[in-house]
Amino acid sequence: MGVFDTLNIGYSGLSSSQSSINVTSNNIANINTPGYSKQRANQVVKHPLDDKIPGSVGAGSKILNIKRVHDEYLYTRAKNSETNLEFSSYTHQTLKEVSDYFPDLEDNGIAKDLQDFFASWSDLSRDPDNDAIKVVLVNNTKKLTSHIKDTSQKLENLQNRLNNEFKDGIEQVNDLAKQITEVNKKINKIENVAQGNANDLRDQRDQLELKMNKLLNISVFKGNMNHDKQKTSRTDMGNNYNININGFNIVDGVTYHPITIDVNHKFNTASYISHNGTKVDFTSKIFKGKLGAIVKLRGDGIDANGKPSNSKIQSYIDDLDSFSKGFIQKVNSMYASSSQTKIQSDTYQIQEDTKLPEINDIKEGNFNVLVYNNQGDIVAKRAITIDKDTTLDDGTANSIVYKINANLDDNNDNDSTNDLDDIFEAKMVNHTLTIKQKQGVSGYHIAIEDNGTNFAGYSGLHKIFDGINSSNIDLHPDIKDNPANLQSFKAPIDGNSDFTNDMVELQYENITFKRSNTQEVNQTIEGFYRFGVSNIATDATNAGIDKNANESLNKSINEQLKGTVGVDMDEELTNLMKFQTAYQASAKIITTIDQMLNTLLGLKQ
């Protein structure tokens, strides 16, 4: 071994130290770079010189490779925690927004409007002919219906927004998948060379994975784990890379399979095209991340009624619709007991021979048809029974029209001129039921008192409200435009407060509300409304608890990951001093060899 071999040893140490200083400097420069993993120069012994001296003589050192410090297990845990946090955060944010649509805890909102509505009826019951009180009642009712419609519209707008965000999210997934395949191509190119490590590209790919994982539940397979001897890295071998979503491969190495968007009733759904060209539902496979939260909130498809299925937001809309429908039909059913000279129903959306109990809103039972004279006396009363065979007008004795027109002795006085059928006549024209005084008869009023069938409320025989749900509830135009048209009596005489008293009592009466899941809830009108609001508040609270738990877990895991792969300034400065000292020592070797050479050259002279 000669002096020049020693010079090469010194140079190798100098070069190794310089490389280590460069890596350390790069770590310090990127201490605040998101997603950066600290890197280490792996210094090893060079192949020893083959000398005759017993034992091999070292030939110095070299940098075998530069690898990032990475722990795939911690990274996977962090990635999963990010997915759960994104799901719970988005869910909480959305449900908090929904709960803000119902500000009833602040003495403001639909519950307060209901109280004002019934308070106005109470005022009117004390002075039923006072038009000024009717104006207040109508204005309070307008405010109530406006708030219901506004809340329904906000929920619908939220559904539409979530629907658009779902589409945007799927497009982001496709874009990220494409970017990952491009990065994989570059990684493969670098790492196909011996000891090639695409450190920065792997960091870049990890960040793309994190972004995709925040959107939906992905499983990433990267091959077997590689544990290096210095334990600075537990990473993948770099082969057989693919991203799988619940059984569907989105990325296969350097190729990706885009998810397609389909539109059904303006509802965006996702599909996966299999290798044989078959389109498979993909929406129901998403259950984590932001898109998982959107699917749970917005729904995963369209049901037979054209509404989102398995949707939390839709369940809130359905409950608001159930509340509105029950409220509309009950108030209208009671208003039918306020007598009038003529009754005309809404246009029926059923065939005239349809069995009425087959309709979800009508029950078997009976209702009373009452006839008043101008003095307010009941001169005829007939109970109309609805059983399993009753229709509107099928030409048989089972129809409503026949039962009203039947020649009966309602008063049991053997007088065939003073019964319901002698004064009023029922007809079905263009799917509309009309009950009016017979030709040549005048001076009478007719009313319907329901006994639980809901026939009058369903039919709209005499009504205060138009509409059938929260999106279209409104005051009847005749009352809305002229509050004086609001009837406050049962018997057609001044000062009669029977009807207004019944309306006041309605607020304390339990009625049946039918939810979309077929569940029937017996509650007061305000009670059922608060039942729906409390469900929303509970869901928002639970989502907040879930979010806080996931935030704590995510913070703990990320701190652990950062402690392993993140840049620590104290550690890097210590390394910098260590490598600087080694550099100076290697430089001293070269200086010493230089002096030795000068001495040798001097001897020659």
pLDDT along the chain (605 residues), means of 10: 77 90 94 93 83 70 90 91 96 96 80 95 95 97 97 96 96 96 92 86 94 93 62 55 90 91 90 85 92 96 89 95 96 96 93 93 95 94 96 94 94 88 95 94 95 94 94 96 94 93 95 88 94 94 96 94 92 93 90 84 72
554 in a structural domain: no
Task: Write out the two tokens for 303.
Answer: 């049901």
CA-CA-CA-CA torsion sign (322, 325, 331, 334): negative
Rounded CA-CA distance 13/44 in Å is 11
In a domain, 415, yes or no: yes
Closest CA to 451 of 326, 366, 335, 508: 366
User: Residue 111: what pLDDT?
Assistant: 93
What are the φ and ψ backbone dihedral angles of 507, each rounded to 5 degrees? -65, -20
CA distance 345 to 459: 5
Do 21 and 132 fall into the same domain? no
* Distance separating alpha carbons of residues 56 and 46, to the nearest angstrom: 12
Q: Report if residue 297 sits inside a domain.
A: no
CB 5, CB 53: distance < 8 Å: no
pLDDT of residue 226: 58
Domain stop point among 538, 554, 581? 538
What is the rounded distance in angstroms from the CA atom of residue 229 to the CA atom of residue 405? 99
Does 365 lie in the same domain as 324? yes
- Total count of domains within the chain: 2
- 34 and 117 together in one domain: no
Unique residue bearing structure tokens 């050259």 = 601
Of 538, 556, 586, which residue is a domain's last? 538
H/E stretch holding 602 reads helix 569-604
Count CB-CB contacts under 10 A for residue 350: 15
Same domain, 386 and 525: yes
**367, 451 Cβ separation under 8 angstroms:** yes
Residue 575 lies in a domain: yes
Give a yes or no: residue 107 inside a domain. Answer: yes
Alpha-carbon gap, residue 329 to 49, rounded angstroms: 100
Are 208 and 179 within 8 A, CB to CB? yes
The confidence score (pLDDT) of residue 230 equals 45
* Contact between 319 and 310 (Cβ < 8 Å): no
Report field, pTM of the whole predicted structure over 0.85: yes
- For residue 557, being part of any structural domain is answered with no
Three state DSSP letters for 345-376: CCCCCCCCCCCHHHCCCCCCEEEEEEEEECCC
Q: Based on the fold, state whether residues 366 and 497 are members of the same structural domain.
A: yes
Partner residues linked to 68 by β-bridges: 39
* Whether residue 323 is found in the same domain as residue 452: yes
Largest CA distance in the chain: 158
pLDDT of residue 518: 81
Residue carrying the six token digits 């210590």: 574
Calculate helix-pair angle for 72-100, 289-298, nearest 10 degrees: 30
Looking at the fold, whether 494 and 393 belong to one and the same domain comes out as yes
Query: Alpha-carbon distance 459 to 435, whole Å?
Result: 13
Q: 411 and 468: one domain?
A: yes
Q: How far apart (Å, rounded) are the C-alpha atoms in residues 491 and 339?
A: 6
Query: Do 23 and 130 fall within a single domain?
Result: no
| Cross-strand pairs, 270 | 261
Query: Same domain for 341 and 417?
Result: yes
Q: 312-335 and 289-298 are packed helices; what angle lies between their axes, rounded to 10 degrees?
A: 20
* 486: its two tokens: 């609001």
Q: Are residues 578 and 456 in the same domain?
A: no
Structural domain boundaries enclosing 470: 103-152+314-538
8 Å CB contact between 506 and 457: no
| Cα gap 19→292, rounded to integer Å | 46
Domain boundary among the residues 497, 517, 538 is at 538
The CA distance from 97 to 158, in Å, is: 9
Q: What radius of gyration, in Å, describes the C-alpha atoms of the chain?
A: 41
Backbone angles phi, psi at 390, to 5 degrees: -70, 135
Q: Is 593 a domain residue?
A: yes
From CA 314, how far away is CA 469, in angstroms rounded? Answer: 13
Same domain, 428 and 467: yes
From the list 117, 182, 183, the residue with the least C-alpha distance to 145 is 117
Q: Is position 81 within any domain?
A: no
Instruction: Give the tokens for residue 352.
Output: 């005239």
Give pLDDT, residue 232.
46
